[in-house]
Structure 1
Amino acid sequence: MCADKTASAGAPTGLPLASPSAVRPEVCGFKPYTPGLSIDEIRDRYGLAHVIKLASNENPLGTSPVVQHALRHKANLAFRYAQSGNPRLTAAIAAHHGVPAECVVAGNGSDEIIDLIVRVRAVPGVHNVVAFNPCFSIYELQTRLAGVEFRQTPLAADFSFDWDGLMALVDDATAVVFVTTPDNPSGFCPPVADLERLARALPSGCLLVVDEAYMDFCGDESAHSLLGRIDEFPNLAVLRTFSKSFGLAGLRLGYGILPVQLADYLRRVRLPFSVNILAEEAGLAALADDVFRAETLRVTSEGRAALTEGLTALGCHVYPSKANFVMFRPAPASSPSSSGGAAHLFEELLRRGIIIRPLKSYGLPDLLRVSVGSPDENAAFLKAAGEIMAHA
């Protein structure tokens, strides 16, 4: 056991001060998840009246008016518990994807589904979990918290997937393999044939979890996702979220589409009422609002193209993306003595009230990620970035 040895003032004499804060060994080296900076944080830091946030891959159109109406209409139900298992929501999700409702498990964001899969599938000291590096940090955090070995293999130099490297880490004790597509932070999205080969190559006892948080933005899901053929793969689970194209990041709502038996086990151990009643109502309304979702996909596709073209014109190296963000390396500084680079651009943008995402926490200190915003937000970002890099 490890412990925080800092004593609090006024603690009774003779009390073993470390005892109240002693924790499991797995927790000692943990670093918290690193979120994007908030608008209020930057507004207060720099005394700004207006801040643009393009750091957390949120919906450029905000929240659907249909969802806002539903939340206002259902606000009087906030004192009620949601129905156990959220059957109306899971039925609507199942109908949206054309899968059996028994395969669907809703969660407090897809983060909860990730956590449940690891804890249900992997036995500490026996199994391991495999992913690429870098990857969504929740895979590693929840695996290590469960006391399970976490293995990673690097992405290729161009941020495509090294499938051979991934398979080299897999053995008969591998309980779960995580793959994110489109990937974060690069936006890389492999062809569906690659995922099919991986699913068929894994040991029979290994579950392939494909995290498709950004799949809505890829343009042609059938070319990149196995979700439409999930019944062909008994070892496949697919994760989706309401945070991105549906605009519900603040309500924390996601889901998994899983083998029926595994879905049943997740429902058994899931904390009761983890999906609150207003999140459920918002999810139902969002699924019914085809107009807002179609407009989101249009604005995102056009904005991604504008960001890619604009950053390239500024001399940046922009990585191809199928998601609602782009990753880029800033243009080199105009002279060796200039203070250019990703960190400089990030900080100078903050001073101007524009938040993007530095990728140091991903182990990529020379790269930045910018979410697709509204046309005006994208233009403001490109203008500011150009001015900053021109004077670097």
Structure 2
Amino acid sequence: MSQISVRQEILALKAYVPGLSIAEIQQKYNLAQVIKMASNENPLGMPPLAREAVQRHADMGFRYPQGGNPRLVEALAKRHGLDPRRVVVGNGSDEIIDLLIRILAEPGVHNLVCFEPCFSIYPIQGRISGVEVRRHPLNADFSFDFDGLLSKVDANTRLVFITTPDNPTGYCPPRDEVAQLAAKLAQIAPACLLVIDEAYMDFAESEPDSSLLASGELPENTAFMRTFSKSFGLAGMRVGYGILPPSLADYCWRARLPFSVNILAEEAALAALEDTTFYSFTMQTVRQGRNALTVGLTALGCNVWPSAANFILFSLPENTLSAHDCFETLLRKGIIIRPLNSYNLPGHLRVSIGNEAENRTFLLAMDEILLQNRHAEASAANRECK
């Protein structure tokens, strides 16, 4: 019998839970067409210029990319008006998050701090690395309790993570509050890095008013995460990047696996940066769709939380079906949204903004589900009266 064993942290680990795929729902329910509104992907698909770039460079798939992806680094530095030495690109921003934990936090000694709930990669990668994970609950309205978060910080805290706009809530704190958090953290724990994950920041109504990065304010103890998965429509290509203090960026390049951003992903990302027409249409589509879904779900009696992202958090009207039953009923209708059990929010659901037709189909399905539920409840009540 094999004597291979794994670390205790891995034995207790709960894996990241991705959104369901179109193919598995088509197969499970024998559906010809499925709408996916679960994983916060771009509702318009892949940028045309990026698709053309992948096709144009496909015959180079046998080559390694240039080490360090210098063209992409330069393009990102130009986009943000930054020194290229601050930029690190990775196989999704997840890779850079993992690198930062492993570079900065010593297993069994240091800790990281984040909210509960939050993007689950932070606590998962922390636990994989053998780092203590400390969490502080969001406020009842899902806003951020920064003072409470800071109360978890001590001399052994090496990273504090926040997502803004937040996932899964869509909440976006005022920029000045984030700046104050960075300043207070520098005083409490000078060796700690504040990681601001801005994966959804493009979708805020005013990016410069919401983002320290976009405003050009870069505290020395702060790192920013960005991704090509959302507004740039390249979730399947896996490209993300971090804007870091230059010395820390250098350590990330040393520790990063070589060639983690493949040659086709790099070409797609470079082309996506140039496809300003697609980017502008994405912003318009998401913001209009976000408003339409907010208005539509509210009209159906749902509780809808304000969102600055490309998704909406909502709960169903009181005394109606459960979030789980609603999710399952939508699946049978060929619509995938996201149940939030993995975020410890079993009574809530998250729906990604789709295109106009997808949003309309989702709202019609929700109307039908809630109407059927009301009829079923009325029939049950009549039977009890008899």
TM-score interval w.r.t. the shorter chain?
A: over 0.9
When structure 1 is superposed on structure 2, of 312-321 and 123-132 the one drifting more is 123-132
Which of 17, 24, 48 matches 2:7? 24
Map of 1:61 onto structure 2 = 44
Q: Which amino acid aligns with 1:245?
A: S
For structure 1, the 5+ residue unaligned runs are 1-16, 335-339
CA distance in 2, matches of 1:232, 1:254: 19
2:126 maps to amino acid: T
Residues 1:376 and 2:363 are matched in the alignment: no
Aligned residue in 1 for 2:30: 47
Does 2:183 correspond to 1:200? yes
- 8 Å CA contact 1:331–1:341 kept in 2: the answer is no
Q: CA RMSD in A?
A: 0.9
In the TM superposition, 1:69-148 aligns within 5 A as: 69-148=52-131
Aligned partners of 1:303, 1:295: CA distance in 2, in Å?
12
Over residues 158-202 of structure 1, what are the superposed CA-to-partner deviations in whole Å (9 max), with x where a residue is unaligned? 000011110100111110000000001110000001100000001
1:368 aligned partner, one-letter code: L
Deviation per CA, 1:129-159, whole angstroms, max 9, x where unpaired?
Answer: 0000001111011111111111000000000
User: Where has structure 1 moved over 4 Å in runs of 4 or more?
Assistant: 229-232
Q: % of aligned pairs identical?
A: 57
Partner residue of 2:206 out of 220, 225, 231: 220
Instruction: Give, in whole Å, the separation in 1 of the partners of 2:112 and 2:362.
Output: 39
Counterpart pick for 2:247 among 261, 266, 271: 261
Q: TM-score, normalised by structure 1?
A: 0.93
> Structure 2 CA distance, aligned partners of 1:320 and 1:238?
23
Structure 1 match to 2:169: 186
- 8 Å contact kept, 1:333–1:389: no
Describe the SS at the equivalent of 1:391.
helix
Which SS does the other structure have where 1:59 is aligned?
coil
Contact 2:208 2:215 survives alignment (8 Å)? no
SS in 2 for 1:238: strand
Amino acid at match of 2:355: S
Verify: 1:174 aligned to 2:160, yes or no. no
SS at match of 2:196: strand
Cα distance in 1 for partners of 2:309, 2:264 equals: 27
How far apart are 1:125 and its partner, in Å? 2.1
Deviations 1:358-380 (A, max 9, x none): 00110000000000001000000
Aligned length: 370
Is 2:123–2:133's contact at 8 Å kept on the other side of the alignment? yes
Match of 2:346 among 358, 361, 365: 365
* Aligned twin of 1:391: 372
**Cα distance in structure 2, aligned partners of 1:157 and 1:41:** 35
More displaced 10-residue stretch of structure 1: 138-147 or 260-269: 138-147
CA shift at 1:332, angstroms?
2.6
Letter matched to residue 283 of structure 1:
A
Q: State the 1:231 CA deviation.
A: 5.8
The C-alpha deviation readout for 1:85-137, integer Å capped at 9, x for no partner, is 10000110111111111100000000000000000011112211000000111
SS in 2 for 1:19: coil
- Name 2:289's counterpart in structure 1: 303
User: Structure 1: which amino acid aligns with 2:80?
Assistant: H
Q: Contact 1:332 / 1:341 at 8 angstroms: preserved in 2?
A: no
Q: Deviations over 1:318-372 (max 9, x none)?
A: 00000000000012345xxxxx121111010000000000001100000000000
In the TM superposition, what whole-angstrom CA distance separates every residue of 1:282-313 from its partner, at most 9, and x where no partner exists?
A: 00000011110010000000000000000000
The letter for the 1-side match of 2:315 is R
Give me the whole-angstrom Cα distance separating, in 1, the residues matched to 2:214 and 2:238. Answer: 25
- Give the residue type in structure 1 aligned to 2:337: I
Identify the residue that residue 380 of structure 2 maps to in structure 1: none
Shift of 1:73: 0.4
Q: Cα distance, 1:391 vs. partner?
A: 1.3
Check conservation: 1:328, 1:367, Cα contact below 8 A.
yes
Alignment-derived partner of residue 241 in structure 1: 227
TM, length-normalised to structure 2:
0.94
The amino acid that maps onto 2:171 is F
Alpha-carbon distance, 1:228 to partner: 3.5
Match of 2:259 in 1: 273
Superposed displacement of residue 390, structure 1? 1.0
CA contact under 8 A between 1:110 and 1:241: conserved in structure 2? Answer: yes
Q: Name the CA distance, whole Å, in 2 between partners of 1:155 and 1:133.
A: 6
User: Could you tell me how far apart the structure 2 residues matched to 1:373 and 1:108 are?
Assistant: 25
Say if 1:109 and 1:253, in contact at 8 Å, map to a contact too: yes
